[in-house]
Structure 1
């Protein structure tokens, strides 16, 4: 039956500066889970080069993490996935533009749990790379789901960040709900912009005509929320003001602990280190032998480096995590 979709709702945050890191916490209450719902946590650069979005879905095939980027507007060169976590599948998409999407059903997510999603961009050999990470806050585990090679240089997160909730199949007779907090953008100057102000919007159209008035959004304790579908009624404040400020939705900067790691082994030929799943993930590494740089590169998944050292050489490993913090360990070759 036409017109049976729940209306899509959006929150537009106040982070209009250029940045290189986006992150946000997402929570879906058990009563807000409905089949064929996209709970989008981060959307950026809509209509621009390097536009994309990521989040979680309640999908017919299971609980899914999704990360997608639209095709470049300035080249016909294809986007490629240069890293995929176990269970992450990538494929081209069409419909509302074309691009590359990744989906992971293997890790899964659960209602009534908070999750953190992080997207980070960096430059590599004349292209822009985009990485996507997720943290299960209850299990205290991080996952690097995918890295995509976008074949255009110097693409950043340019526009205000958006999150949304979407019924993509047409079951507006059921409602869905989502909460967001601890949202941030790191600017190219290195400062953090917390998502403490948001503008709510609802898309009312013919595809949703049976449920166009079934929506809500605003502040829920220390987080932003959106709800849509049958049984939902707008809060009275939405009739006069759709701009919200939630001072408690984020601190001045992320509170995640810096990366934690240990050097497992160091010999005259090689150094190996380990980063636990509970640690904020690795983004880049640097290896220094007797005060001289041996290697320095962005590689979230490398855990060893070839070296040329001698007995009693001092070997130092410096790791940067995905939100820009560094830690180091030093050992001597025995």
Structure 2
């Protein structure tokens, strides 16, 4: 429901090419021979049957740039540096024994890898040049929830450590309550989108929607969109596009349903009425289509920003939507844009907020947003607080591909959290309430 740029493309990165070398670590160590190295007198290692694709469930730890280079659509590739640690996540519903094997190969010679879980490390040597299941060993799972499998490169004869397509799992800790991303790799790697849905406290026509949004320190992760004012026909919030760029984003969907804006008939196109200084406008696609506007603005974590949205149905079977943004650094309201949506006669409906990540390589990081002091104003001029909210999530969570989703009340504000593979998830449909605060003091006639 949000777009990273007008073209909707993700950031592209280049990896540094260096020969991998390093040293191992961990609390225990065991050298494992591959099946190709075994003699007839050695016992056969077990063949595990449950396959965890590395393409969907692995990241270069803490590094989105290297993740895009190394984690490819067919698995781990181009892994050259010992400083690039690979992490793979899966969720287990019970404790017990977890057995691991790598579906891997080397390009030539021999590679040594370290595989760790729960503070225990095992060393495995690879010399097979065709993909095969290479047994690593058994690990103890002491608590259910997300498990973090860590791969480190120790040494390699070739330029890369290994190609690893999958991690195979088995053992008493694995069962029907074991979860990982099996399909929809792109959406699964992005992680679950989470939502707060505000029931309207009135049946009267709603003209304005006001809210305040705070991103806590350290939670302003690249690839995050913190949507403050959602409504039935669009959304309004802030996002982190890169290390050097942040935006205020306001979009309105066309009534014509398509992911390709070029296919929208002229009579169904969202029309720009006006925009604020320095605001960029255009069209968006890929997740519905319509009119988009954004202001490049260096908003900061821990600062509270204000959002005001207006809807006004016209008498020509259209509705005008306007969005204003208040930055404490400038102590003034700024117009983002006003759009006219054709074939629409409505006041503001479906008041909501959401939080999402739009860069798959950043799905390994947690992000949080706090939503405070939400209000609506009726067309008759009455301000009413939004004190209730219910929690929901998207199809990624419904498919049980990811379980790192959360919402609730914190410090008198509603909050949302996702990504990073934490264990304490919130049940779909959970309801929250907060204390009412002071109504916004606004001179609506003086808005730019």
What TM-score comes out, normalization by structure 1 length? 0.68
Give distance in 1, aligned partners of 2:399 and 2:293. 28
Secondary structure of the corresponding residue to residue 31 of structure 1: coil
Task: For 1:174-323, list aligned pairs within 5 A.
Answer: 174-203=365-394, 205=396, 212-234=402-424, 238-239=426-427, 242-248=430-436, 250-251=437-438, 254-256=439-441, 258-259=442-443, 282-283=446-447, 300=448
Aligned Cα RMSD in Å? 2.6
Please tell me whether residue 10 in structure 1 is matched to residue 192 in structure 2.
Answer: no
> Which of 68, 84, 87 pairs up with 2:275?
84
Match in the other structure for 1:21: 208
Match in the other structure for 1:95: 286
Cα offset for 1:137?
2.7
Does the CA-based 8 Å contact 2:208-2:378 persist in structure 1? yes
Higher relative contact order, structure no. (Cα contacts within 8 Å, ≥ 6 residues apart): 1
Change (3 A) 1:140 1:208: farther
Change (3 A) 1:240 1:136: closer
What TM-score comes out, normalization by structure 2 length? 0.51
Q: Deviations over 1:213-238 (max 9, x none)?
A: 21221011110111111153326xx4
Cα offset for 1:241?
7.1
Give distance in 2, aligned partners of 1:240 and 1:201. 5
Give distance in 1, aligned partners of 2:353 and 2:250. 13
Please tell me whether residue 70 in structure 1 is matched to residue 253 in structure 2.
Answer: yes
Tell me how many residue pairs correspond in the alignment.
Answer: 250
> Which of 348, 352, 358 pairs up with 1:168?
358
Cα offset for 1:152?
4.1
Give distance in 1, aligned partners of 2:372 and 2:355. 15
> Which of 140, 158, 178 pairs up with 2:331?
140
Structure whose CA Rg is larger:
2
Please tell me whether residue 117 in structure 1 is matched to residue 321 in structure 2.
Answer: no
Would you tell me which structure has more helix in proportion to its own residues? 2
Cα offset for 1:128?
2.5
Match in the other structure for 2:321: 130
Deviates more, 1:73-82 or 1:57-66: 73-82
